[in-house]
Amino acid sequence: MIKKNNLVLTINIGNRNFIKYTGVFMKKYAEKTGSDFIIIDESNLYNIIEGYDISAFRIGRGNNKAYLYKILSIMYYLNIYHNVLLVDDTCFIKDNCDDLFLKINSKVDILAYNEGEKDCLSSWKYDLKFIKKSINYSINRMNYINTGLVLYTDKINKYFNKDNIYKFKKLLLSDYPCQAYTSFIIDRFNIQLCPLSSSYNCMFMNCEYNNNGHNIEPSSIGKEFVLSNENKIFHITGFYKNRIEIIFYIFNIYNDSNLFVDDIHL
């Protein structure tokens, strides 16, 4: 089979309405970069999980299998595409985001935001301890990534595979299942990580990582912050109490500003 070049991929499994507001921007970005665009949902999930005993995997976050499907999707599509940009369904790819596929070179296996660089975050602190306790392995915090937006190349196929997902399935019990597993694989197999700046994975919407940020009202974010060119991709994580309201707020600012193409439909 002749591989295709680039894919923009997102997962929309379960009772989630985010894609109604974010998907149009992903599709527009795929067209901008000459990439295919695929949404994984219940209608096409079978292709991803065929051949796996899903019941053999216990997942953190209430045994939410969507985290497993996210990893299996990468493994599946890297057999079809050379490069896969996986974007959470809670991400807005802004018009000023450059072509991430052009950042790939012979020294790059994965591009992602290195969450381990930010001292205040609890995720990497939790997972470093969790990985050590689960499989007695210590990872470098500078290899700990946020998996909300990652560009994978098919050079990692020999590590992102069926054998390893079963062998290291304990890592999926983390409170951050994809991040624990993927960051371990990066560190354990010396995968070449090209760290993206936080502007490609902006998680804090004009707020700090504290209770005030957690409870931020959408109107407190401000139109100026949303429309500024400083940030290229917004990632509205589960950190926010008012998550769907924030996503709707951002969508409406873009809609009112005519910053997406009206005739692009999912």
The closest alpha carbon to 266, from 86, 28, 34, 92, belongs to 28
Q: What is the pLDDT of residues 6-63, one digit of tens each?
A: 999 999 998 888 999 999 999 999 999 999 999 999 999 999 999 999 999 999 999 9
75 domain residue, yes or no: yes
pLDDT of residue 263: 46
How large a percentage of the chain has pLDDT more than 70? 97
Distance, in Å, from the CA atom of 42 to the CA atom of 221, rounded to the nearest integer, reads 34
* Residue 50 exposed, middle or buried by CB count within 10 Å (0-12, 13-18, 19+): exposed
Residue 61 exposed, middle or buried by CB count within 10 Å (0-12, 13-18, 19+): middle
Q: Is the pLDDT of residue 262 over 70?
A: no
Instruction: Supply φ then ψ for residue 200, to 5 degrees.
Output: -90, -5
Within-domain flag for 184: no
- What mean pLDDT comes out for the span 206-221? 93
Neighbours of 204 (CB within 10 A): 19
Q: Is the dihedral of CA 101, 103, 105, 107 positive or negative?
A: negative
Cβ neighbour number for residue 107 with a 10 Å cutoff: 7
Average pLDDT of the residues in 237-254: 95
Q: What local confidence, expressed as pLDDT, does residue 162 receive?
A: 96
Structural domain containing residue 156 = 4-114+145-170+192-256
pLDDT value at residue 258: 63
Number of separate domains in the chain: 1
Query: Per the structure block, which two tokens stand in for 29?
Result: 């970005």
3-state DSSP of the chain: CCCEEEEEEEECCCCCCCHHHHHHHHHHHHHHCCCEEEEECCCCHHHHHCCCCHHHCCCHHHHCCHHHHHHHHHHHHCCCEEEEEEECCCEEECCCCCCHHHHCCCCCCEEEEEHHHCCCCCHHHHHHHHHHHHHCCCCCHHHCEEEEEEEEEHHHCCCCCHHHHHHCHHHHHCCCHHHHHHHHHHHHCCCCEEEECHHHCECCCCCCCCHHHHCCCHHHHCHHHHHCCCCCEEECCCCCCCHHHHHHHHHHHHHHCCCCCCCCCC
Short-list 125, 157, 152, 154, CA closest to 141: 125
Percent of the residues in the chain that have a pLDDT greater than 90, as a whole number: 92
Predicted confidence band at 264 (pLDDT cuts at 50, 70, 90)? very low
**pLDDT category, 266, cuts 50, 70, 90?**
low
Burial class of residue 129, CB neighbours in 10 A (0-12, 13-18, 19+): exposed
133 in any annotated domain: no
In a domain, 181, yes or no: no
- pLDDT grade, residue 126 (50/70/90)? very high
Question: Do 41 and 66 meet the contact criterion of CB atoms below 8 Å apart?
Answer: no
Q: What is the mean pLDDT of residues 117-137?
A: 96
Tell me whether residue 85 is in a domain. Answer: yes
> Is pLDDT of 66 > 70?
yes
If one compares 261 and 179, the residue with the highest pLDDT of the two is 179
**Residues in the chain, overall count:** 266
Predicted model pTM: 0.95
In a domain, 216, yes or no: yes
Q: Would you say residue 219 lies in a domain?
A: yes
User: How does the average pLDDT of the chain come out, rounded?
Assistant: 94
Task: Report the CATH number that the domain containing residue 31 is assigned in CATH.
Answer: 3.90.550.10
**What value does the mean pLDDT take over residues 109-132?**
96
